Structure 1
Amino acid sequence: METADVESFIKCELDGQSITIRPINIQDMTLESDFIDHLSPETKHYRFFGAIHNVSEKTLKTFCDVDGKRTMAFIATELVNAKEIEIGVCRYVVTSKPDVYELALTIADKWQHKGLGKLLMNQLISYAKSHGIKWLYSVELADNALMHNLCKELGMQAKIDPDDVHQIIYSLAF
């Protein structure tokens, strides 16, 4: 990964707790694995569009080994008993079309409805803009009300996926 900008690291208070938002890195594979393992079945369903139990090491490496250009991800963490715990992640990856990047967001269940998703998305969007990205999109299940509300709040456009009426495509052009 290219050297992250100093402004890519944010320390803030949310819901009375100190959190850090920072770029993910390859050393975070265990952190990411623990995060996914502790998601509820519903949250896993919305993130992965189905039931999963474990994520392979290859997938974890893909999630954590970002280059800052074609792929980028920010994680939110909190300290619990002096141990860093991942509480959310927002990422994008380039698609086969130039300047088109797919994004994904996942928030730990106990941190949902607290504004963490918006903080992460704003960080990722700001990073994308500053690195010349022109278009971000996300494919979500149509019944994912949390993502619908967040994407609307962020000014993203929504349309039904022409290939699957059970999915919505949210997009944001810069």
Structure 2
Amino acid sequence: MAQSGTTPTNPIRVTLSDGTLAVVRPIRPDGAPQLIEALNNLSPQARYQRFLYGKHSLSPDELRYLTDCDGINHIALVLLLTDTDGNELYPVAEARCIRDQYDTSMAEVAITVADQWQNKGVGKHLLKALANAAVAVGIERWQAFLLHSNTAAFKLMETVGTKQSELPEYTAVLKVTYKLHPNLFTH
């Protein structure tokens, strides 16, 4: 069942730093075509930063996993541009957290923002909404696997939490844990 937890079911309307209107809402099972299109529109660098390798496609099983989320153990949100009437146009970012099965107060987090929409507040709006949803279901900490060179991701993560640890995972990858601050999240 998609989004049966406390993930917001009503879109959260936001205005980006350039005045563009958007909404944040849960990813739905019928969002697979949008997810494929979004992946196809990412630059090679953005794909590498998100997947830590040059992922080119998603299998049917991956698409099902990434779009059919329960809102409790797997929370996934999308930010879509809208027209002035609030009609959804197309997605420009997605973020998700997946609860750790052994430490249920921890979840792995990931975010992807389309190249042309970076540095406009997209990631900040989306990550704040995801953090609100995570805290509401008892997730207190996020763990992210980040490239050393992805300074934008480190800066973005610090808008929703305090870094607790940073450990080398692979040659160019760090495993970073953040304690979420729920009192910071207002829209």
TM-score, normalised on structure 1? 0.89
User: Residue 9 of structure 1: which of 8, 11, 22 is its match?
Assistant: 11
- Show the 5 A alignment for 1:24-173: 24-79=27-82, 84-99=89-104, 100-157=106-163, 159-173=165-179
| Structure 1 unaligned residues grouped into runs of 5+ | none
Counterparts of 1:83 and 1:47, CA distance in 2: 24
Shift in CA distance, 164/68, structure 1 to aligned 2, threshold 3 Å: same
Q: Is 2:164–2:178's contact at 8 Å kept on the other side of the alignment? A: no
Q: Which amino acid aligns with 1:136?
A: W
Relative distance call for 1:37 and 1:158 in structure 2 (3 A) is: farther
AA at the equivalent of 2:48: H
Unaligned runs of 5+ in 2: 181-187
**Amino acid in the other structure paired with 2:15:** E
CA distance in 2, matches of 1:98, 1:160: 18
Provide runs of 4+ in structure 1 moved above 6 Å.
none
Could you give the per-residue CA deviations for residues 52-104 of structure 1, whole angstroms, max 9, x where no partner exists? 22111211111111001110111001147x77311001101122323221010
Structure 1 residue 153: Cα displacement: 3.4
* Aligned sequence identity (%): 24
TM-score, normalising length: structure 2: 0.83
8 A Cα contact 2:28 2:68, kept in partner: yes
Distance 1:37 1:97, change over 3 A: same
Figure out how many residues of one structure are paired with residues of the other and give that number.
173
Give the conservation status (yes or no) of the 8 Å contact 2:100–2:107: yes
- Measured in 2, the distance between the counterparts of 1:156 and 1:55 equals 32
Deviations 1:108-160 (A, max 9, x none): 11110111111111101111111111221111111111102212333331644
- Superposed CA RMSD: 2.1
